[in-house]
A and B are shown apart, each in its own frame.
Chain A
Amino acid sequence: MKTNNTHDWLNQHGDYLYRFALARLRDPHLAEDVVQETFLAAIKSPNFAEQSAPRTWLTGILKHKIIDVMRKNVREVVVSDLMSDEDANMDEFFDEKGHWADKPQKWDMPEDALEQKQFLGVLQTCMEKLPTKLAQLFLMRDVHETDNEEICKELNISATNAWVMLYRARMGLRKCLEINWLGA
């Protein structure tokens, strides 16, 4: 009976869970992995048979698995290259006096559905250009709306560190959007 459930659930919710994970992790293989872990955790759970709203329940498990992956990934970047050059990389954005190297332009925001779709396409490409781990931290904050305090606790980093990383991610994305959206 349990297996039947798994098959049904896999058919009914597998694609949704996969997309949910993909939207947050931006990596098809990682997304498969977390969905797999979610199902394995689900069938081992004593609450398995009693779920009246399996999708919600499975999504709840999936969220935890996603955070686990992010935690692991982001921790690596913190240790590896964040501490050393807190300020160095910002040189591409500002001159020595702290003025904008490239002045932010006026953005004409997409108005119709087609333009909006194009804009999101550019954003997607820009996200892919960010270092994966930076992108994940950014998504954790801005999409998951994970509390900053919680991020720091989860990742075992200082608040200052988190702000620096998020700042970098936003600066990089903004610049990429400006070049590729306005330049298009």
Chain B
Amino acid sequence: MLSCKQASQIISQSLDRPLAMRERFALNLHLFICKYCKRFSQHMQCLRVAIKQMTNSIENDNTIEMPLEAKKRIANLAEANRTQPKT
């Protein structure tokens, strides 16, 4: 019988690799009787979705702009790279 610690490890790994048959069997058995690990498993799914949403929301947030200084620096560097002949 898996402990909750072992079950949670397998649940996490199921997001990263295919589980072996016996792992899947042992995990399902554990999830059948343990509502906490079942919740944990749902939380992991939820986390994965939320992380993507968060990334998208940063990516699409038009109020976030690159600092002006950085833009100037990049423009200057680009200029310098253009004018200096390749060595």
Chain A positions near chain B (C-beta within 8 angstroms)? 2-3, 6-7, 10, 14-20, 22-24, 28, 31-32, 35-36, 39-40, 43-44, 90, 93-94, 97-100, 103-107, 109, 116, 119-120, 123-124, 127, 138-139, 141-143, 148, 159, 162-163, 166-167, 170-171, 173-174, 177-178
Contacts and interface: CB of A to CB of B under 8 A. Distances in A.
A174 B82 contact: no
B55 A24 contact: yes
A100 B55 contact: no
Contacts of B40: 104, 174
5 contacts: A23-B55, A99-B4, A107-B39, A143-B55, A166-B16
A86 to B, nearest CB: 11
Contact of A22 (B15, B39, B48, B64): B64
A119 B77 CA distance: 40
Contact of B47 (A10, A43, A98, A177): A177
B33 interface: no
Interface of B: 3-6, 8-9, 12-13, 15-17, 36-37, 39-40, 42-44, 46-48, 50-62, 64-67, 70-71, 73-75, 77-79, 81-82
Contacts, number: 146
A27 B50 CA distance: 19
B75 A104 contact: no
A120 B82 contact: no
A104 B64 CA distance: 35
B36 to A, nearest CB: 5
Nearest to A124: B54
Pairs of residues from A and B, 8 with the lowest C-beta to C-beta distance, nearest first: A98-B3, A18-B66, A98-B5, A23-B58, A167-B12, A104-B39, A6-B78, A32-B70
Given A3-B82, A104-B39, A120 B50 contact: yes
Contacts of B12: 163, 166-167, 170-171
Contacts of B44: 170, 174
Given A98-B6, A170-B12, A143 B52 contact: yes
Contacts of A139: 51, 55
B65 to A, nearest CB: 5
A43 B36 contact: no
